[in-house]
Chains A and B, each alone.
Chain A
Amino acid sequence: MIEVLIVDDNPIVRMALRGYLASAGDVTVVGEAPDGRTAVTVARRLRPGVTLLDHRMPIADGLSVVSQLAEYSRVLVLTSDDADELIAGMLRGGAHGYLVHGEFDPAELLRAVRAVAAGEGWLSARGASVTIAMLREQAAREQEDAVRAEGTRARRERFGLTRREQDVMALLCAGHANAAIARQLLLTEKTVKNHLASIFTKLQATNRTEAVVRWTGQQ
């Protein structure tokens, strides 16, 4: 039996949802909440399999509580809003489904509830299109980061710093003084100074700031 919590400030909508779900033999409504804050309290106590979550509600809206709710229940968003940012926020916040009022019938709601309860998910057509776009952007970002990291690695390699000098450089970039660098790397301050002298030569830097700028590639 799939236990469902209905979260919506509109009692008529809650009634309609109760009615839709009552027709299914495998679903039971275990609780209702009129706002986000109450929803979190109820969900923590009841641990429903699926929470149907509206967005626009008094006291606490859906988006502000979705990640808390997701700790106690799988969340299926059910709202009239389908702004891209809201869909994105809800899914990043842990929702497993998103349906828009007026675009689904009772049969689709039931399939969505069952899919979400079973560890899958359910998205409206707009939700699916927003999700695919977000994934592609994310992949492009990861690709860019990888290219940038490779560029940095290749650029640094040309300086020919030793392993140890690179360790010193990393701490220097983090803003540490010689004494702190020496402590962290278990060296004497004199050794750190020697490393720095060698680093400055290799980076063609006359002081710490210049060295950091060369190493990090900032202009």
Chain B
Amino acid sequence: MIEGPADRRMRDASERPRIGTDPVTALIVHPDAAERAALGAVLDSGERIRVVTLTDDGDAAVTLAHRQRPAVVLLDERVNAPDNRDLIQALARWSRVIVLTGAAEHSAIRELLCAPVRGCLVYGHFEASDLLGAVRAVAAGLGWLSPVAVAAATWQLRSAR
């Protein structure tokens, strides 16, 4: 059978993963109630993003991530988790983790990026649209770094030759 351009298009479309039907699910783990709610509102305002749970408890977050398998976990690095000393590692078993931090120093960011995170947003350096972009990119298997984090990361790459 001769395959015309139209056939090819149709086949490609059927093979493409069905982005756009299922919403990206997100779990928010943040110690501050007001900020947690604000982050949740921003994500819920995004098309095809659904916040499944919000919590301030790191250990509870691990259980929730295990049970609900959210596509993305948004984790503030100050969150406590007495039972999970390596909280990022524990969450990364079930979901893709984006870490939120107030640290802008190269060394601190470098350390965060050595944990199994897919993205790093630095407070004061991102807008609502960046938050949505980060969640979408990470859900799609890509990454996201705030400009300060990019500076820290590229500096680190250059310094180790």
Q: Kindly name the residue among B145, B147, B148 whose own CB sees the greatest number of chain A CB atoms within 10 A.
A: B147
CB pair B154 A121 closer than 8 Å: yes
Q: Does B137 contact A (CB under 8 A)?
A: yes
Q: Does B67 contact A (CB under 8 A)?
A: no
CB pair B150 A96 closer than 8 Å: yes
CB pair A91 B144 closer than 8 Å: no
Distance to closest chain B CB from A111 (angstroms): 8
Q: Select one of A94, A125, A130, A135 contacting B144, CB under 8 A.
A: A125
* Residues of chain B in range 65-121 having any CB-CB distance to chain A below 8 Å: 110, 113-114, 116-119
* Across-interface contacts of B137 in A (CB, < 8 A): 125, 128-129
CB pair B142 A125 closer than 8 Å: yes
CB pair A138 B140 closer than 8 Å: no
Tell me the count of chain A residues lying within 8 A, CB to CB, of chain B: 28
Q: Does B18 contact A (CB under 8 A)?
A: no
Q: Report the Cα distance A115→B149, complex, angstroms.
A: 11
* Across-interface contacts of A127 in B (CB, < 8 A): 143
* Across-interface contacts of A62 in B (CB, < 8 A): none
* Residues of chain A in range 76-110 having any CB-CB distance to chain B below 8 Å: 88, 91-92, 94-97
Q: Does A132 contact B (CB under 8 A)?
A: yes
Flag A134-169 by CB within 8 Å of B: 1 or 0 each. 111011001000000000000000000000000000
Q: A132-B113, A136-B114 are in contact. Are A122 and B143 (CB under 8 A)?
A: no
* Across-interface contacts of B156 in A (CB, < 8 A): 135, 138
Q: A125-B144, A132-B117, A132-B143 are in contact. Are A119 and B151 (CB under 8 A)?
A: yes
Q: Select one of A115, A118, A125 contacting B140, CB under 8 A.
A: A125
Q: Does A120 contact B (CB under 8 A)?
A: yes
Distance to closest chain A CB from B49 (angstroms): 15
* Residues of chain A in range 149-196 having any CB-CB distance to chain B below 8 Å: none
* Across-interface contacts of A126 in B (CB, < 8 A): 142-143
* Residues of chain B in range 125-161 having any CB-CB distance to chain A below 8 Å: 125, 133, 137, 140-145, 147-148, 150-151, 153-154, 156-158, 160-161
Distance to closest chain B CB from A136 (angstroms): 6
Residue of B at shortest CB range from A131?
A: B153
Q: Report the Cα distance A57→B153, complex, angstroms.
A: 27
CB pair A128 B119 closer than 8 Å: yes
CB pair B147 A120 closer than 8 Å: yes
**12 extra A-B contacts, CB within 8 A, seeds A118-B147, A132-B119:** A94-B158, A115-B147, A121-B150, A129-B137, A129-B141, A131-B153, A132-B143, A135-B157, A136-B113, A136-B114, A138-B156, A139-B114
Q: A residues touching B (Cβ–Cβ < 8 Å)?
A: 88, 91-92, 94-97, 115, 118-123, 125-132, 134-136, 138-139, 142
9 A–B pairs (Cβ distance < 8 Å), ordered by A = A91-B154, A119-B151, A120-B147, A121-B145, A125-B144, A128-B143, A130-B143, A135-B114, A142-B160
8 closest residue pairs by CB, A with B: A121-B150, A129-B143, A128-B143, A120-B147, A125-B142, A125-B137, A115-B147, A139-B114
